[in-house]
Amino acid sequence: MKQYLEKLLNQQDLTIEEMKDAATMCFSPETSNSELASFLTALRAKGETSDEAAGLAAVIRAQSSATTSTLTDVMDNCGTGGDYSNSFNISTTAAFVIAGAGIKIAKHGNRSISSKTGSADVLEELGISLSFSKDHVEKVLQENNIAFLFAPHVHPGMKRISKVRKELGIPTSFNLIGPLTNPVNLDSQMLGVYRRDMLPMLAEALNQMGRKRAVVVHGAGNMDEASLSGENHITLLNNGEITSFTLHPADVRLPVYANADIRGDSAKENAAILRSVLEGKRGAYYDTVLLNAGLGIFANGKASTIYDGIELARESIESGAALEKLEYLIKYSSAVAKEAI
C-alpha cells in the first residue's frame, strides 16, 4: 500500500491494474485502518480518474454476495451523496416512479453517511426489507420492476471500510464510486454527483464498465440530484459517445423552487414525503421527483427526450403505478420476514 500512497501523494494517477491491486489491499486485514484512511484521503485529494474509479468498483463488485448476470435491461439511479443539502430522498422516490413507467430498476443504496437520512433508512421506515437474497432480488425485479440492494448486505466485505468512512466524516472516493458498485449488471444508469468537475470522469468510468446509456447530473446548488432551483449540468453517455449540456426547469416546463423547499428530516418524515409524492400530492417535492424520474427514464432510453421522460413519470404517478410498486415491496418484505420465523 505504501508505494500507492506515495504515488497518490505525488499527484500521480494509478493505472486500472494498480488500483485493482490497491483496492484488494483495502479489504485485507493486513492493511491498518490508518493506512486505509490515508489512502482514501490521498485519492480524494489527488482527484480520481476514470481508470481508478472503474478499477475500485470492479474489485468491490467482484466480492459482492449478490452479483448476477441473469437479468437484462436493468438500470439504477443511485447518487453519490455528499452534497449536505439535507434534501428528502429524491432518487429513492424517483426509483418507484421509474419502475412504474415499466423499467426494471435495481436501487442500490445505504444508510446515511453524509446526509440525515439515507435510502436504506427511509425504506426501512416504510417496511421494506434490507436483506433480500439474490433470489429475492431477481424475483421482485421480474415481478415488480424494482428491488432495493442494501450496500452493506450485498457488500459484506465493506464493513470495515464503511466504519473508516464514517469516522472520517467527509466524502471520500467511495462516495463517488458507490453508484458504480451495484452488483447487478446494468445496461443504463442515472448518477447524481455533488462535484461538477467529476461529470466527465464518471461518464467515462460508466463507459468502461459497459453501460450502453447513462446520465450523470450535477444539480443547481451543488446537489447530487437534478434541482429545480436553476441550471443543472448533465453529461450523457450514449453507446460510447459522451456529450454535455445544461438543463433549466423552464426547458422542460417545470417551475423553479429553492433547494430549501425540498429539505427532508428524519426517516419518518422522509417516508411520509415519499408516500405523499407517489400519492400525487403536488408541490416542490412532486415536481423535483418528476424531473429526476424523467431524467432516469431518458437515461434508460425509454424516452427519446427529457420532456417525454417527465411526462412518462407523471403518468406513472397519476395512474397509481408508482405507488403500486411501493406497496408490492412492503407486502413482499412482510412475507419474507414471516418465512424466516
Q: Is 283 annotated as a binding residue?
A: no
Q: Is 197 annotated as a binding residue?
A: no
Q: Is 265 annotated as a binding residue?
A: no
Q: Is 103 annotated as a binding residue?
A: no
Q: Is 107 annotated as a binding residue?
A: yes
Q: Is 165 annotated as a binding residue?
A: yes
The CA distances from residue 102 to 127, 179, 187, 273, 297, in Å, are 23, 22, 15, 23, 9
Q: Is 169 annotated as a binding residue?
A: no
The CA distances from residue 49 to 56, 177, 202, 204, in Å, are 11, 11, 8, 9
Identify whether the C-beta of residue 188 lies closer than 8 Å to the C-beta of residue 213: yes
Identify whether the C-beta of residue 161 lies closer than 8 Å to the C-beta of residue 174: yes
Q: Is 225 annotated as a binding residue?
A: yes
Q: Is 87 annotated as a binding residue?
A: yes
- In 3D space, the residue among 90, 80, 323, 81 whose CA is nearest the CA of residue 228 turns out to be 90
Q: Is 114 annotated as a binding residue?
A: yes
Cβ neighbour number for residue 269 with a 10 Å cutoff:
16
Q: Is 218 annotated as a binding residue?
A: no
Q: Which amino acid is at 44?
A: R
Which residues, 6 or more positions from 252, have their beta carbon under 8 angstroms from its beta carbon? 291, 294, 306, 307, 310
- In 3D space, the residue among 190, 195, 164, 168 whose CA is nearest the CA of residue 179 turns out to be 190
The CA distances from residue 33 to 165, 166, 172, in Å, are 10, 12, 15
Q: Is 124 annotated as a binding residue?
A: no
Q: Is 316 annotated as a binding residue?
A: no
Q: Which amino acid is at 20?
A: K
Cβ neighbour number for residue 263 with a 10 Å cutoff:
17
Q: Is 50 annotated as a binding residue?
A: no
E strand residue ranges, the chain: 74-76, 104-109, 146-150, 188-192, 213-218, 232-238, 241-247
Q: Is 108 annotated as a binding residue?
A: yes
- In 3D space, the residue among 239, 197, 203, 257 whose CA is nearest the CA of residue 222 turns out to be 197
Q: Is 34 annotated as a binding residue?
A: no
Q: Is 333 annotated as a binding residue?
A: no
**Residue numbers belonging to the annotated binding site for anthranilate:** 79, 110, 165
Name the binding residues for Mg(2+). Answer: 91, 224-225
Binding site for 5-phospho-alpha-D-ribose 1-diphosphate, by residue number, is 79, 82-83, 87, 89-92, 107-115, 119
- Binding site residue list: 79, 82-83, 87, 89-92, 107-115, 119, 165, 224-225
